[in-house]
Amino acid sequence: MPDVNIVRVNRVPYSWNSCSHFFNGLPYKGLTAVSYKESREVKLVHGAQQDGTPLGITAGIYKVENTSFTLLRDSATALMQDLTIAGLGSFGDAEFTYILSVFEPVSPPSLPVQTVLTGCRITGVEEKHVLGADELVTEISVQAMFLLRTAGGVPMNLWSTVRSLL
């Protein structure tokens, strides 16, 4: 597939304005930042080889880490209220799915790039109140189980999809 940046309608690359955010399928407008990281920890395996080169690399351990959402205070409160109901009194007990959909409304419309974080649970909430003209925000730390990406309908996973079938 050629690089999409070679031909771009109106020279508009994806930006924050291209993003739509959904928690458990409900749209949220008050996000100001989203951060996540996934990794696959692998290890070089050595054996009795005269040249000391590795025999291979392990399949690895997959994990999603450092996930956080920063929301305007009223949007964060609404999210925690929704999750408190789902968690039967605790927004920390509620499991949810987050979807980030990135697209540009051009003609023809661009195919969305989607990132889905599943099995999410809130693990921390940080609120700061500072004198000044800045808006109040809440940073929510989350532990997610999986991060799924699709672009143009093609799924892209860091973990081994072949091994997940076994």
Q: Can you give the pLDDT at residue 63?
A: 96
Can you list the domains of the chain with their CATH numbers?
Answer: 17-36+65-164 (2.30.110.20)
- Alpha-carbon distance of 138 to 80, in angstroms, equals 11
Q: Can you give the pLDDT at residue 104?
A: 79
The pTM is what?
0.87
pLDDT at 48 over 90: no
Distance of CA 98 to the CA centre of its chain: 7
* Per-residue pLDDT reduced to its tens digit, 133-164: 899 999 999 999 999 999 888 899 998 888 87
* Per-residue pLDDT reduced to its tens digit, 88-121: 999 999 999 999 999 877 766 667 899 999 999 9
Per the CB < 8 A criterion, the answer to whether 106 and 10 are in contact is: yes
Q: Can you give the pLDDT at residue 15?
A: 86
- Alpha-carbon distance of 66 to 62, in angstroms, equals 14
Least confident of 59-68, 70-79, 150-159: 150-159
Q: Can you give the pLDDT at residue 4?
A: 55
- Quick one: which H or E segment has residue 99? strand 96-102
- Alpha-carbon distance of 20 to 115, in angstroms, equals 11
Long-range contacts of 47-51 (CB under 8 A, 24+ apart): none
With CA atoms as reference, report the closest residue to 140 among 158, 122, 162, 114: 122
pLDDT over 90 for what percent of the chain? 69
Q: Can you give the pLDDT at residue 37?
A: 97
- Alpha-carbon distance of 151 to 113, in angstroms, equals 4
Q: Can you give the pLDDT at residue 130?
A: 87
